Structures are given as C-alpha cells and as structure tokens.
Structure 1
Amino acid sequence: MISGPKPEWLTFDCYGTLIQWDEGLLAAVEQILAKHPGSDVDPETLIRVYDKYEHALEAERPHKSFRVVAREGLRLAMEELELAYTSDDIEILTGSISRMPPFPEVVAALGELKAQGFKLCIVSNTDDDIIAGNVAQLGGHIDRVVTAQQAGAYKPTQQIFDFAHDALGLGRSDVVHICASPHLDLAAARDLGFRCIWIDRGTGRKPLPDYAPNAVFPTLDCVPPFLSSANWG
C-alpha cells in the first residue's frame, strides 16, 4: 500500500532501476580483463573489489567527482588483484556508462507515468556529462536530473536528497522514490522517511532487514497501474 497525498513528482534511481547497470558494468569489466589474458581474476571478483573502493571513496570528504571516484576505485581494485592498471582501463569503464541502455520496459513505463500527470526526476550518483547519454535514451520523459556532482554528495546521504527536494520545491512527504538499490536508496528512505517503491530485478541484492518499502515490483512497468489505482489521501 501507499498512503499520503498524490505526488506531483516521482523521483528515480537511474543505474539498475532505469538503466542496465549490472549488464553494462560486466561488459566493461570483461573488456578490461581481456587485456590481461594470463590473469585468473574473474569479472565478478573485479566488480566486487571495485564496488568496495567506489563506495568508500564516495563517502570521503571533500567530495570527489564520479570520474575521480571511478578512476581511483578501479586503480585500487586492480592493484589489489595484482593487475596492471592503465588510463585506458578507466576510459573503457566511464565511456561505457553513458552508452548503457534502458531496460526493455522502461521508456514505455515512463511514458505511462507522464500520461498520468506525474513529473519525473532522476537522482543519481554520477556526473552530469556521464548521465546525459543515458537520459537521452529515455524517450524525452525525464523533467529533471539531479546528480551527485550538483549536490556535492552521494547517496545514501541526506545531503543529495535534500538538494533534490529543494530543487523541486518539495518536502520529503511530497514525493515517491522508485529505486533498485537497497544499500543506497532504501537506506535513505528508511532514514529520511520518504515513500519508496523498490524495483527488485532479481539481482540478488537483499532488502534491508529493518525497512520495508511501500511496494515491491520486479520491473518498472508494474508501477503505472499500481499508482493509477492508489487511493491517495
């Protein structure tokens, strides 16, 4: 169930929710590892170690751009795994992000939500120039994009969500956030108290043990009929 007033705005996580992040990251890492034919490091291991460094770097102050975070995270991960790092490796990674496509149902689902009268905003842990290529693939349905670069902070911090809500002229209770990341977006919904729909795409990411989102669906196309039938207070 979802209660409260009908929102004017819906906010979205981008990568993993709208855009095929896991698939695109795997392809980029496989391309990087292909340059090291003698290594026994598998793509899943490099991704796991990279993620560890990426999240740690995003929490550091002062704020670092995502390009810097990705570069340092990949370098540290490859050093830990005894792989020779070159500048070409980070170009493979960051260059692939903008080209990552939406999930098959996403553009049509966003169109349905626009037809229902909602305004749509992305809140994403990235830089403006990186996400521009992804937004261009979303059918012209996105009204606003808020990035970590603009806010000077990454999810799940309060700062980026406060920045987004202030930019939209809204309070936390005035939006519904739609996301796929438990440790970033669901954690923020739990701590900050905004309404949240989790898109659980079967990636193996686990829900938080101390928080239940307002609704859970496997794909984004389940959201328009759910919101159209909601009894808004």
Structure 2
Amino acid sequence: MRWITFDCFGTLIDWRHGIGTSLELIAPAKGDDLLAAYLRHENDVEAAAPRTRYREVMAEALRRACADLDVTLNDDDASVLATTLPYWPVFGEVGAELSALRTAGLRLALLTNCDRDLIAQTLRRLPVPFDAVVTAEDVGAYKPDEAHFERFRKAYEPAEWVHVAQSHFHDMIPARRLGIRRVWINRHGERPADAGVVREVLPDLRGLLAAVERA
C-alpha cells in the first residue's frame, strides 16, 4: 500500500486566515496582532499539557495572547476558535491535488494536532475522502512528538510512505528522525537553519504528485 499522510491545519486548511478572522470577532482591528501572539503560545501550551484536548489548548493560548496585548477576553469568548474551526477555508489548490493523488492509486491519511470531533467536522469540508486519521486525542501527544507517526506506522504498516506538511517544526523534523520520506509545503517562505534536510519543497500543493513520486 502506498500512503501519503498530511498535516491538516496550515497544509490543507488555511488556519492562519481562520484564526485571524475569528479573532477579529472578539477584538476588531487586532486580529493580526492576536494571531501573532497566539502562535507564540500554542506550542508551549501543547508541550506543557500533551493530553489536554485541542479545544482547551486553543482557549488557553488565546487567553495568553490576549493578556500579552491587554485585550479583554470574556469567558465565553475563549472558545471562539473551536467554534469557528469547522469553517476555516480549504486552500484553493487542495481539491485538484488530492484528486490527482487518488487517481494515481495512493491512499490518504491525516496526522493532526486536533480533537476527533473537530477533525470530523473539518473532513466534511475537504474535497476528497481520507482513508485514515490519527489525532492528538488518539495518541495523547502533540507533534513534534513522534506518537502520531508511530501510531500510523503500527496500524497500517505502509509499504511506501510520504509525509506532506507545512510545518517544518511539527512535521518535517520528526519525520526526518523516523526516516519517513517527506515533502515540505513551505507556504510562508521560511528558512530554518536545517531546511536543507528536506529535498522536496513546494510553495503550495501544486505539483504535489510529481514531488511525491520523486520523494
């Protein structure tokens, strides 16, 4: 079986747009600043409490971001990201590229830092079906912990496997440690110090099938 695993948010779903526009609802004109502050905190919250549900991770990271910027956050507004997450937009090229992988006979899976109920709602927005999903809730850990990858490998024993993701930190680094072939979707033009360890790099998913075959 030939498998392609994906990160979801940032790779298939435009989570920065989703978070930024959601935060505008509670703090008009401060969405971009809150997004930047939120991104600084989310990894720390996940690392400190890896068994915490993702909806609670988002709420706590938002509380910290608001505190940084002296933004008043009402208690019932802390759940805004979990509420809006199912409506965050899919990147425009995703449908065609996933369909091409399907046509080529590849199986598709998600390895996501998310809860089961939230990813179930997101799957309804993705334009092709997925054959498997591994969540942070399933493994009791958040990437860059290797638990997602280990669970997938044990459950599906892929004969060939390429992992595709936007986050160098959360996905490329652990995939490299485990010897998994990988394609980096570098949507933000990042230049990490060890970027050279990923041979296949694309600015978005266009041309993904060819990159997967090279990998």
- Offset, 1:31: 1.6
Does 2:175 match 1:189? yes
- Offset, 1:121: 0.2
Does 2:14 match 1:29? no
Give the alignment partner of residue 215 of structure 1, picking from 195, 200, 203.
200
In 2, are the aligned partners of 1:146 and 1:164 still within 8 Å (CA)? yes
Greater length-normalized contact order (CA 8 Å, ≥ 6 residues apart): 1
Unaligned 5+ runs, structure 2: none
d(CA) in 1 for partners of 2:9, 2:120: 13
Task: Judge which range, 44-53 or 13-22, deviates more.
Answer: 44-53
Corresponding residue number in structure 2 for 1:57: 45
- Offset, 1:134: 1.8
In 2, are the aligned partners of 1:187 and 1:208 still within 8 Å (CA)? no
Give the alignment partner of residue 45 of structure 1, picking from 30, 33, 54.
33
- Offset, 1:64: 0.6
Counterpart of 2:176, as a letter, is R
Counterpart of 1:163, as a letter, is R
In 1, are the aligned partners of 2:90 and 2:125 still within 8 Å (CA)? yes
SS of equivalent residue, structure 2 residue 162: strand
Counterpart of 1:183, as a letter, is F
- Offset, 1:80: 2.6
* Residues 44 and 101 of structure 1: CA distance in aligned 2, closer, same or farther (over 3 Å): closer
Give the alignment partner of residue 96 of structure 1, picking from 55, 70, 84.
84
Counterpart of 1:213, as a letter, is V
Corresponding residue number in structure 2 for 1:166: 154
* Residues 208 and 65 of structure 1: CA distance in aligned 2, closer, same or farther (over 3 Å): farther
Structure 1 stretches (4+) deviating beyond 4 angstroms? none
d(CA) in 1 for partners of 2:146, 2:60: 24
- Offset, 1:196: 0.6
d(CA) in 1 for partners of 2:6, 2:72: 36
Aligned-CA RMSD value = 2.1
Unaligned 5+ runs, structure 1: 1-6
Give the alignment partner of residue 110 of structure 1, picking from 85, 88, 98.
98
- Offset, 1:62: 5.5
How high is the sequence identity, in percent, across the aligned residues? 34
- Offset, 1:21: 1.1
Aligned residues: 215
d(CA) in 2 for partners of 1:168, 1:31: 41
Does 2:190 match 1:205? yes
Alignment deviations for residues 107-150 of structure 1 (CA, whole Å, 9 cap, x no partner): 12111101101000010111111112221122233111111011
Counterpart of 1:105, as a letter, is E
- Offset, 1:204: 4.2
Alignment of 1:101-180 (within 5 A): 101-170=89-158, 174-180=160-166
SS of equivalent residue, structure 2 residue 78: helix
What TM-score results when the alignment is normalised by the length of structure 2?
Answer: 0.90
d(CA) in 1 for partners of 2:53, 2:162: 27
Does 2:54 match 1:69? no
What TM-score results when the alignment is normalised by the length of structure 1?
Answer: 0.84
* Residues 225 and 193 of structure 1: CA distance in aligned 2, closer, same or farther (over 3 Å): closer
